[in-house]
Amino acid sequence: MKKGLKIAIGADHAGFDYKQAILAMFDDITFNDFGTYSSDSADYPDFAHLVSKAVESGEADFGILLCGSANGVAMTANKHQNIRAAICWKQELAIPARTHNNANVLCLPARHMNLEEAKKTIETFLTEEFEGGRHARRVDKISC
C-alpha cells in the first residue's frame, strides 16, 4: 500500500462501528472522516455525497463508504460523474474493482462481512493498480 494516501471515509449508523475500527487500523493513511459520528440513525446519502465530492475534487485519493448492505452508498456515490464506486464484501472483489474498473470509492457492507475481511478488502483495494489497456476503453465509456 502506498504511503501517505488521503482517504475520505463516511458511514451511516449501520457502518459507524466498522468506520471507527477502520480509522484505528491504519497508521500510514490520512483519513478525512465525513461522519456519521455516532450510532444514531443517519441518512447514508449525506455521507456518500461528501466522500464522493472529496474524491472528485482531488482532496482525497480514494473514498471508503460503509452502510448495512453498501447498496445505498454505492448508488449515491455513483451519481457523481467521476466516481466509480464498487461494492466489495471480500478482498477478491476488490482486485477487479481496481485493476479492471479503476474504482475510486470502496463500498463495504458492514452487516455482511466481518471486520477482518473488511481490513483485507481495504488493503487490497488500496494496493491494486488500474491495468489500463482494454480496460481503459471500457472505463472511459462509463460516464454519461
Of the candidates 13, 49, 80, 100, the residue annotated as catalytic is 100
Which DSSP helix (H) or strand (E) runs through 42?
A: none
User: Using CA atoms, how far apart are residues 1 and 100, in angstroms rounded to an integer?
Assistant: 18
Distance CA 48, CA 32 (A): 13
Contact 64, 18 (CB under 8 A): no
Note if 100 is an active site residue: yes
Grid coordinates in use for 95? 482486485
Q: Interhelix angle for 91-99 vs 115-127, to 10°? A: 20
Neighbour-count burial for 111-139, b at 16+ CB within 10 Å, e otherwise = eebeeeebbbbbebbbebeeeeeeeeeeb
Q: Which of 67, 80, 88, 107 is catalytic?
A: 67
Q: Is 88 a catalytic residue?
A: no
Residues marked as catalytic: 67, 100
